[in-house]
Amino acid sequence: MNRYRLFVAMIPLFLSMLILQCTSPDSTPDETRIPVTFALDTVVSFDGVPWSLEWLPGGDLLIADRNGKLLRYDGTTMHEIGGLPEVRSKGQGGLLDLQLHPDYANNGWLYFSYSKADMTGDSSNTAIARAKIQDDQLVQMEELFWAMPHATTSHHFGSRIEFDKDGYLYFTVGERGNWDNAQTLENHSGKVHRLYDDGRIPEDNPFVNTPGAQPSIWSYGHRNPQGMLFHPLTGKLWENEHGPMGGDELNIVEKGKNYGWPRITYGINYDSTVISPDSVMAGMEQPVLFWRPSIAPSGLAFVTSAKYPQWNGDALVGSLRFRYLKRVDLEGDAVAGQEELFSNIGRVREVKEAPDGFIYFTVDEGKVFRITPVYETM
């Protein structure tokens, strides 16, 4: 056999080897492979404080800048959306959370929380509004809620927004630095609230028929909840909140329950004095997890995407104080372990699993990051 005939005879073998190589484990889809590590991609950076993220159906990214700007990033250019109400950007206040209505594709409602000042400009509290976006302007704006009492302090606004599977609107309001607010049902501060999507009070809220109570209250005894999310599998409402010096909490929030602040706490005051001698009390809920020392938690996500198989079912919590992302290994509702991710990346404010399956988070230093799986190469 001459060389030409030998070459022709070997062609089927070469083709079979090529097919085998193309179908080897190295080239299987990412969803069936295990990442060896995770990298960070900077999605966008700007001069502002990205407090929250939301994605429009076309893929554009909405960013709430705490300084009082609503931004739309189309992948190349940042656009400012006009028509916001007057936002009191001071201290921890400003433009805060964003949330699309579950039926946004049909009704176009964008919900947002912000700190709203009273007529004097000296006092403020958390407000919830909704509007529609048209040509980079907010239109048909409606204020649904404004927390009382107003306070001259500039911290503890809470402000996370979530919808449940039935379309009810939930949101948090911090106790504004006044501890007594959290334990009384007569005002809105230090609470999780529940409304219909148009701001009406649901008839089955727990304190609708309680004399003197605010009918929007769902739970109380909270300090400053800056992370809240319904678990995508169990449907339970989880939230994280800032403690004082020690005593940050991760909770499962239930209807009508009292979460204890300040009558029970695992922390002490910033001057090292005792806030309460008790960490357990009858009629008050215990956290799933508390942090001591405080990590200053903000933002909360549950990992469901196949892009992160090692983290599936775990919670991700931002740490403002220690400047990392905290992974909480969950087995059901119990904590099996914790891990610190991306140390010294910045004051992590928002954490979210996006429609594209990637996890994004923001830092107060003006950056939005995407966590990208890295696979072993042969």
Residue 13 lies in a domain: no
**Mean pLDDT for all residues in the chain:** 93
> How confident is the model over 53-66, as pLDDT tens digits?
999 999 999 999 99
> How confident is the model over 8-56, as pLDDT tens digits?
444 444 444 433 333 333 334 455 689 999 999 999 999 999 999 999 9
Catalytic residue numbers, as ranges:
156
Residue 249 lies in a domain: yes
Percentage of the chain exceeding pLDDT 70 = 91
Residue 13 confidence (pLDDT): 43
Instruction: State whether residue 107 is helix, strand or coil.
Output: helix
> How confident is the model over 335-363, as pLDDT tens digits?
999 999 999 999 999 999 999 999 999 99
CATH, residue 260: 2.120.10.30
The Cα 204–Cα 209 span in angstroms is: 9
Residue 96 lies in a domain: yes
Residue 28 lies in a domain: no
Expressed as residue numbers, the domain containing 300 is 45-374
Residue 15 lies in a domain: no
Residue 11 lies in a domain: no
Confidence of residue 121 (pLDDT cuts 50, 70, 90): very high
The Cα 264–Cα 53 span in angstroms is: 33
Instruction: State whether residue 13 is helix, strand or coil.
Output: helix
Q: How many independent structural domains does the chain possess?
A: 1
Which two tokens mark 172? Answer: 């948090």
Residue 270 confidence (pLDDT): 96
Residue 29 lies in a domain: no
Residue 3 lies in a domain: no
Query: Of 330, 273, 267, 264, which Cα lies nearest the Cα of 301?
Result: 330
Helix (H) or strand (E) holding 163: strand 161-163
| CA dihedral sign, ordered 304, 310, 313, 318 | negative
Which 8-state DSSP code applies to residue 263?
T
